Structure 1
Amino acid sequence: MSTSSTTRSLIAASSRISGSVGIQGRSARILHNAPGFTSRFYATFPEESRLLSQYKFIKDPKTVAIIGCPFSGGQPRAGVDQGPIHLVEAGIIDQVSTLGWKTHFEGHHQFENIHVEHDPPQGILKRPKLVSAVCKSLSEVVGKHVHNGALPVTLGGDHSLAMGTISGTLSKHPDAVVIWVDAHADINTIETTPTGNIHGMPAAFLLGLTSAPEFAWVKPILKTNSLVYIGLRDIDPGEKKILKQNGITAFSMHEVDKYGIGEVVNRALDAVNPYRDRPIHLTFDVDALDPDVAPSTGTPVRGGLSFREGHYICEAIAETGLLAALDLMEVNPSLMAEFDVQKTVSVGCSLVRSALGETLL
């Protein structure tokens, strides 16, 4: 059996989250010790992409901190915790290096040690203590890298982790804007959530639209006029009301079809960053893409972004030179056959490369 297949077999055998287990410990160890990634720093190439110097919020030498967070506790489907290892095994670190970035791979042991002994539902909320603990730890890790002048790229894991990544970015850049690319708004409150799955609620916590004692550390630091959505097409009734009542700009697939992705991205930037001078946190859920493009994800919805539309968003954000942090969430390798898993992982890697300066010409 090959090293790669052995690694995948170990991941498949890893223990699932229970009341006494936080992060998938064995998955975290495997990811930290993945073949070919024994060093925390990786070689860079002398040739920089033509856009690299334009990343104005990133210090020289331009550094990407790749953070894997193997976590699935914000939703019920097992396997999304395995997303980061598949992305790393696909070569994402070397791919980023070839663009001219210095790359730092953040080990996963800090998440491995997170355990919650007793985590019953709080009302409708499921696993609130575990989700809070992991997101808070992730916030500190992302914040550390942002404060050091690096560009954190967080590989999820489910999208509840956005509470951690975005709060970490805002700890350094309180004026940052968030471009949220997703099929879902993830803005349910405790009152509106139909499931209690926290991966459908991170935006509401960040905006201060909902609260729970376990999430007291999540301050309402994101303003409604600093958040814009692209790609929405599966929105709960309560979320529609929240978006309208709070004047949050959102571009559904209807607008993408009507105006084209180029115009939608321009309008999105105009809505939250009209002077093109504020840092951008791009959080990208792969279910924003059509299932034909990214099938191996937990909540696929037909009629999504095409391969090129998804990449155009990343390319356009790269061209602004304002990207300060990037998330790639909800790759779930356990749901599909190997071909569809590879397809989803491949598009995830290429989205990251596009956001970090890879161009077609």
Structure 2
Amino acid sequence: MTQSANKFLTSKTVSIVGAPFSGGQPQGGVEKGPIRLVESGLANQLEEMGYHVEYEANSDLESLKPAQDPVVQNLKNPKFVSAVTHRLAGQIEERAKQNKFVLTLGGDHSVALATVSGVFAAYPNACLIWVDAHADINTPEGTESGNIHGCPLSFLTGLSQDHPDFAWVKPVLQTGRLAYIGLRDVDDNEKKILRDNNIKALSMHHVDKYGIGKCVDICLDHINPNRDLPIHLSFDVDALDPTVAPSTGTPVRGGLTFREGHYICEALAETGLLVAADIMEVNPALESPESVFNTVQVGCSLARCCLGESLL
């Protein structure tokens, strides 16, 4: 299993950061995603690929839950989400600065407040590829659900800056350094944000039109034209079609195939620029045991591809 030498990481250490957290959305169970991925052998699989693997479970995140957490500016559980992501952000920054590949296992996608904040603190010139059925760039005033897992990118890009509970989140991500693949359920408010900010957003229409290989190239040409910047991948398993990854909280039909999802991870690993990856929204409480098994296996497989596993 060969991978072109990583241009930023000299160590062969993977820091697996568990983010067992469900407070950014209403469905319980997603907090069990990280442990299921690890219990199914992910760390051992990475060690067999030649990596030294460290794992931090962060199983005490529930202790950060405040006694009172009222809705503020339309957002639900803002204090809990903020406390958890603030703590994880410091941990992820530290691991990234130790020259380790940071693999964060979610948890719901509000955890991206932590992963992007942490990774970009270590690599300020990084770029972000967001693989998801949803754009997750709603503003507090624009969100209809109030679920923070649909809002992290508005804070990280500075489009939302005046929420009292998220004052710690810095606008580390320039909109020109963000690209999406796999969108197919985007709010009208978010469509306007994507257009107004000239964000490179590829929907399933583009995947059908161009093929997945061309879509990855289009994104990299836009956010990393000289192929010299660190890349952070945030992969929500609901980007995959529900037939591939059924056990997730907001499934949407018509998603990426098994092969397309893996191609993205393989292609980014091949650049030698990938420094961090998130595998998010695996929810073992949803669907049948077989569906859960399949979803967990796909999550592990995507992670291995990010670290250089390839078919040949």
- Whether TM exceeds 0.5 here: the answer is yes
Hey, what's the Cα distance between the residues in 2 that align with 1:111 and 1:333?
18
* Structure 2 counterparts to residues 169-318 of structure 1, below 5 A: 169-211=119-161, 212-318=163-269
Q: Deviations over 1:94-115 (max 9, x none)?
A: 0111111110111425635423
Hey, what's the Cα distance between the residues in 1 that align with 2:62 and 2:110?
17
Is residue 122 of structure 1 aligned with residue 72 of structure 2? yes
Deviation at 1:59, TM superposition (A): 2.5
Partner of residue 2 from structure 2, selected from 15, 34, 50: 50
Hey, what's the Cα distance between the residues in 1 that align with 2:62 and 2:10?
30
Contact 2:19 2:57 in 1 (8 A): no
Contact 2:136 2:153 in 1 (8 A): yes
Q: Deviations over 1:284-338 (max 9, x none)?
A: 0000000000000000000000000000000000000001111000000111110
Contact 2:20 2:59 in 1 (8 A): no
Partner of residue 336 from structure 1, selected from 281, 287, 298: 287
Q: Deviations over 1:65-97 (max 9, x none)?
A: 001111000000011001011101110000111
Greater gyration radius? 1
Q: Deviations over 1:236-260 (max 9, x none)?
A: 0000000000110000000000000
Q: Deviations over 1:157-197 (max 9, x none)?
A: 00000010001001011100000000000000012101110
Hey, what's the Cα distance between the residues in 2 that align with 1:57 and 1:111?
31
Q: Deviations over 1:92-146 (max 9, x none)?
A: 0001111111101114256354231211111311000000011111101110100
**Which residue is 1:111 aligned to?**
61
Contact 1:111 1:137 in 2 (8 A): no
Contact 1:183 1:234 in 2 (8 A): yes
**Which residue is 1:321 aligned to?**
272
Q: Counterpart amino acid of 1:207?
A: T
Q: Counterpart amino acid of 1:130?
A: F
Contact 2:35 2:57 in 1 (8 A): no
Hey, what's the Cα distance between the residues in 2 that align with 1:107 and 1:349?
16
Partner of residue 115 from structure 2, selected from 165, 168, 171: 165
Q: How many residues align?
A: 311
Contact 1:131 1:160 in 2 (8 A): yes
Contact 2:24 2:149 in 1 (8 A): yes
Q: Counterpart amino acid of 1:155?
A: L
Q: Counterpart amino acid of 2:299?
A: G
Which one is further off, 106-115 or 139-148? 106-115
Contact 1:69 1:156 in 2 (8 A): yes
Q: Identity, % of aligned pairs?
A: 58
Partner of residue 42 from structure 2, selected from 87, 92, 100: 92
**Structure 2 unaligned runs (5+)?**
none
Q: Counterpart amino acid of 1:79?
A: G
Q: Once superposed, what is the RMSD of the aligned Cα atoms?
A: 1.0
Is residue 348 of structure 1 aligned with residue 287 of structure 2? no
Q: Counterpart amino acid of 1:83?
A: G
Q: Counterpart amino acid of 2:49?
A: L
Contact 2:242 2:251 in 1 (8 A): yes
Contact 1:71 1:157 in 2 (8 A): yes
Three-state SS of the structure 1 residue aligned to 2:235 is: strand
Q: Note closer, same or farther for the CA distance 1:155–1:170 as it changes in structure 2 (3 Å cut).
A: same
Contact 2:16 2:56 in 1 (8 A): yes
Hey, what's the Cα distance between the residues in 2 that align with 1:64 and 1:114?
26
Hey, what's the Cα distance between the residues in 1 that align with 2:59 and 2:71?
27
**Which residue is 2:100 aligned to?**
150
**Which residue is 2:81 aligned to?**
131
Hey, what's the Cα distance between the residues in 2 that align with 1:66 and 1:352?
10
Q: Counterpart amino acid of 2:149?
A: H
Contact 2:242 2:253 in 1 (8 A): yes
Hey, what's the Cα distance between the residues in 2 that align with 1:140 and 1:230?
28
Contact 2:17 2:105 in 1 (8 A): yes
**Which residue is 1:10 aligned to?**
none
Hey, what's the Cα distance between the residues in 1 that align with 2:281 and 2:60?
21
Hey, what's the Cα distance between the residues in 2 that align with 1:312 and 1:115?
38
